[in-house]
Structure formats: structure tokens, C-alpha cells
Amino acid sequence: MSENRVNKNTPPANADKKKKKDIFDDLPEQKYNRGKRPQPMRRGPGGGMGRGPGGMGMPVEKVKNFKGTLIKTVKYMLPFKWVLLLIVALSGLTSLFNVFAPKVQGNAITVLQEGFHNGQVKSEDLLPWILLLGALYLCTALFELVQQWVAANISADLVFKMRYDLEAKLSRLPLKYFDGRTHGEILSRVTNDVDTVSMSLQSSITQILSSMITLLGVLFMMLRISPLLTLLAMLVTPLYILVVYIIAPKSQRFFVGQSRSLGDLNGHVEEMYAGQRIVKLFCHEEDSINEFEEINTRYYEYSRKAQFISGMIMPLMQFLGNLGYVIMCVAGGIFVSRGTFLLGDMQAFLQYVRQFNQPIAQISNITNSIQQVLAAAERIFEVLDEEEEVPESITPKDIKNPQGAVKFEHIEFGYSPDKILMKDLDIDVKPGQTIAVVGPTGAGKTTLVNLLMRFYDVSKGRITVDGVDIRDMTRGGLRKMFGMVLQDTWLFNGTIRENIAYGVDNATDQQIIDASVAARSDHFIRTLQDGYNTKINEDATNISQGQKQLLTIARAFLADPAILILDEATSSVDTRTEILIQHAMEELMQGRTSFVIAHRLSTIRDADKILVMNHGTIVEQGNHEELLAAKGFYYDLYNSQFTDSDVEEEAV
């Protein structure tokens, strides 16, 4: 690989050492995240979730409107309020039992101590405490079991409700919502964000209540046993808080970098392997390796620092906990040896010292967890609060036997209010006419179809079919009148038979075959091993592009619509097949109103009317001969396509 072919933005491998001390300087950037894909929760080293500050392996995203999102989340969960209250009650009781258990143990030890001192241990004095302790532990285990079972059920119910609401909402959103967002972004709301809410919300509610009850209960019991020892135990607590709230957040910055670098790494690998042919064609293997090495080095450095700092937290907390425990043991041992303190109370107090610092760390974890839950919930509510399509008419005027007369009357439309694409557009199409729509890229050809199918609503004016305003029809009733064959084919993961019959309920095998014969696809289908039962894979890569187009044409034949929309339907097939399909399409178009979006002007010479569009406006209209004779915009378009080819033929 020659040096002049290496990407200038990619440092050589030996430059890593020089860059390491500045490796964190560009943390806010997402240099390699080309696609800006929303990144799901990633697994940390060893396959588990990496532990960052607050117990989370991912950086905690800030909520834009904490109060508003919290209120919405609470309202959304109101149908589950009684189940949630049950979980809260079970969690509270479990925490109380855990708080009282050390004191009961201490009382039992005190009974033993007094018995040994008196030379006789009375079972009737010891047995009640043992039974009470056993009952506490049994109830704790039982309540925790019931709590987990109830939480699992409510989690499943919440996921079901939230995903159902999202799916129902997405089906009611206008096309402009999907045009303005990536598929990955929408998918992330329905999958990752819902999972985040369902998995963390119930546990956060129970944990914060449990931690608060434990903290207050333990503090109460410690003060009741010995205020002096409690004050002594509190000397270590500020150091404990220092670790949790000051040192721990330092690793957050590096977890952010780790997450972004992992997204960059995945994006690079996906991009390189998806375009492996192009990479090899242009001999960019070395560039790809160098870029991978740089991103991988970033990820390594961020991960190392993040894991090191977060890994320091637990040893420091254990050290401080053990330090406080040793101080209590020494002080308690002195008090017990002097007879000013009962051995059982000392044993209980030591357990409370162990329990006291745990809720502090748990509350820190829960705070970050709630922040993450609300961030995910906020993204979900953004979808649920989106403006929906204009409601359908209460008394729809669906056409049972459409004739195919279409009118655009004084249409004004723009994809945004400040960018009007169409102004005072008028089109009058008679039943059975073939209307060709031509023009340069961005002229408004596809917009015309979007308005006709009511994927978008016009700002002013109206569109009618057989004299009925399309806004007075149901969207389903309107779209059933249309058949579409687009340049970009769409087939789903299913059999060829199912793909052809898509949208036509209860289609018979003979109807499917007849449609395939008309579309000239029957022959190639029968050459496949399983014929019409051949299953098309997820990316439809087991059939050619031309064959996919033939199947979508067969689908249009089977639908037998009153109005056709054809977007250069034969652009992906060979010349011989194109001629056959053109004859089939001519037969299909007989007696039907047809809109043909044409890129190759040779295919629309016989159209009844040609609409020439530019910048959203019809600049010319007429048949092929009339427009050529006018020597206007269409004349220039037509000659730009055929002059060069004519010159080449003359040269040959």
C-alpha cells in the first residue's frame, strides 16, 4: 500500500503513544459516529454490564424536563397504582424486618450471656427470641419472593402497554414524522427505551423506599442502643459520602467516552463489512485497519480509565467500612469489658454499622437509575405527544365504484411553512387518461403522489376523486382505489405467494398465478425450487432486482385498482423484459386513470397528457408532439436525453 493512498485524517499506528496523553481532549465530539445511530445498552468487559458511577454501565443522560416527565410517568402508571402500592408495602415490610433482626439477635445473645454468667441457660428464655428471629427471616424471604413475582408481572404488563401505545401512535402519525427521522431512532424508542423504563422503574421505586427505611430505621436503632457510639460511627460517614458523591462521578466522563467510542467502533465495523466490495475495489484495506486501530485505541483508553476509577470505589468503600467496623469493635470491646455495655447490644450495633453505609451508596445508584429511566420515558412521551394525522371525517364519503376522475384545485403545499413548494397548482384528469409527470430531480413529482395518496395534506385548495374531496374519505377507502408500482421495491420476509397477495384478502391461487402471468413473472417463479412457495429472505437477496420488480408489478395486477401510480416501474429489468412488461402495463392501464412518473422520456410518448414540473409548478402540459413543437422546457429535457445517443449512433 503506497503512502499517498493512506487517509490523511488517520494517524499512523506508531502515533498512538504520542496521542495518548491527549486522548480525552475531544470527548464532546462524535467524530466517527457517521450515521448518528442511537446506541443501545452495550455490554461491558466479560459480557456483563459495565459498572459505572451509580451502578450503571452507561452514562446517565440528562432529562430536559425532569418535573414534567416525572408527572407524565406517574400518570402513565396510574392504572397499575394498586400493584405498585403492594410492591412498596412489601418492600417497606422487608426493610423493617431486616432492621429489627439484628436487635433480636442481640437480645438472644444477651440471654445467653446472662445464662452463662448465672451458670444456667434457660431454654424458655432463649426460645422466644429464636422463634421470633426465624419468623422475621421467613417473612423477609416470603415477602421478597412475592415482591419479585409481582414486580415481574407488572414489568411485563407495563412493557405490553407501552409498546402497544407506541405502535398504535406510530400508525396514526403522518408520513412527515418518519421522513424526518432515521429508522434506528424510531426503533430505539420502541425497544431500548421501553426496556429501560420497564426494567428499572419498579426496582428504583422499591430500592429508594427500602434504602430510606433502612437508613432511618438503622439510625434509630443505633441511637437507641448508644448515642455515644452512634456519634463515633458517624465520623467515618463523611468519608463514605466523599467517595460516593465526589470520586464516583469522576468516572462518568470516561464512561461517556467509552460509550461513544463503542458506537464509533460498531459503526466503523458495520460500514466496512457492508461495503467490503468497495473497500477492496479501491484498495482501502490498510486505511480501514488504521482507522479501526485509532478508534479501538480510543475505546481502550476510555474503558481503562473508566473501569479503573469505578473499580476504586468499592475497595475504598470496603476500606472505610472496615475502618469504621474496627473502631466500633475496639470502642465496643472496651465498653463491654467494663460492663457498661451488653454483649448482645454490641453485636447488634456492629451489624447496624455494617447496614448504615449501604443505603447511602444505594441512594446514589437509584438517583442515576431514575435519571436514566426518566430520560428514556421522556423520549417515549415525545413520540406519544406527537401531532397525529388530521382526524378522518365522522361521516366519510368513500366511493364504492370509482371512475378515476382526479382534480387538483388551487393547491398550495410545502413540507414546512417557510418553504412553499407548490402554489396555485391545477390539474384536471379525466377517467381513463394516462398522465405522465416529468421534470428534473426535486421538481415535485413525488410530492404530487404524496398529496394524491394523502400521505400529506394540502395547505390550501383541495384534491377530488370523482368530485369527492379526498379529506372527506377515510384514508383506507382512498388508498384502496390506488395501485402503486415504485422504483424502490419492497418485499417482506415471506413466500412469493404471500408477497404477491399482499393487500388482497383471500386471493385464490389462480388469481395469483394470473397476475404473475400478466406481469411476466410466472416463468421465473416456476424455475425456482419451491415455485410460489419460495421464501424471500430478510433482504430479498435470493432473487434479483429485476425479479423483485416483477413481483411488485404482479401485486399491482392482482389488486386491480381504479387508479395506477407508476414510478418508472421497469427501470430495474433488462431490455427484453422491459418490452414485455410495457405491453402488460399497457393492457393493465386500459380503462384506468394512470399517473406515470417518468425519468426516461421515451416511455411516455403515448401518454394522453404530459405534465412538465419544475420547482413544484407545472410549467408546461400537453401531449408529446405538442410539447416538442413548443420547444420549451420539455423540448430541452427530451433533447438532453436523446441528442448524445443519436450522435453516438451516427458515429458508429
Task: Give residue-wise pLDDT tens across range 344-374.
Answer: 878 888 888 877 777 776 776 676 677 777 8
CA distances from 468 to 114, 184, 396, 452 (A): 97, 38, 10, 13
Q: How far apart are CA 408 and CA 391, in angstroms?
A: 21
Task: Give the residue-averaged pLDDT of 224-247.
Answer: 78
Least confident interval from 37-41, 83-87, 312-316: 37-41
Q: How confident is the model at residue 266, as a pLDDT?
A: 78
Q: Among residues 594, 601, 545, 597, which one has the least CA distance to residue 572?
A: 545
Contact yes or no for 443/614 (Cβ under 8 A): yes
Q: How confident is residue 463, by pLDDT bands cut at 50, 70 and 90?
A: very high
Q: How confident is the model at residue 107, as a pLDDT?
A: 78
Least confident interval from 68-77, 319-328, 615-624: 319-328
Q: How far apart are CA 589 and CA 567, in angstroms?
A: 14
Q: Is the pLDDT of residue 256 over 80?
A: no
DSSP β-bridge partners for residue 463: 408
Task: Give the residue-averaged pLDDT of 465-481.
Answer: 89
**Domain 420-481+564-575+596-652: assigned CATH number:** 3.40.50.300
Q: How far apart are CA 350 and CA 329, in angstroms?
A: 7
Residue with cell 463503542: 262
Q: How far apart are CA 641 and CA 221, in angstroms?
A: 90
Q: Which three cell numbers stand for residue 390?
A: 388530521
List of E strands, 532-608:
563-567, 593-597
**Average pLDDT for the chain:** 76
Q: How confident is residue 203, by pLDDT bands cut at 50, 70 and 90?
A: low
CATH 1.10.357.20 fits 65-384, yes or no: no
Q: How confident is residue 33, by pLDDT bands cut at 50, 70 and 90?
A: very low
**Same fold across 65-384 and 420-481+564-575+596-652:** no
Q: How far apart are CA 281 and CA 275, in angstroms?
A: 10
Task: Give the residue-averaged pLDDT of 49-58.
Answer: 40
Q: Is the pLDDT of residue 5 over 80?
A: no
Residue with cell 422499591: 206
Higher pLDDT, 579 or 477: 477
Task: Give residue-wise pLDDT tens across range 423-462.
Answer: 888 889 999 888 888 888 777 788 888 888 888 888 889 9
Percent of the chain predicted with pLDDT > 70:
80
Task: Give the residue-averaged pLDDT of 140-144.
Answer: 86
Q: Which three cell numbers stand for residue 410?
A: 388551487
Max Cα–Cα distance, the chain, nearest Å: 125
List of E strands, 493-586:
563-567
Q: Which amino acid is at 404?
A: G
Calculated CA dihedral for residues 191, 197, 198, 201, nearest 10 degrees:
170
Domain boundaries, the chain: 65-384, 420-481+564-575+596-652
Sheet of strand 617-622, all strands in order from the earlier edge strand to the far edge = 482-485, 563-567, 593-597, 434-438, 609-614, 617-622
Contact yes or no for 623/610 (Cβ under 8 A): yes
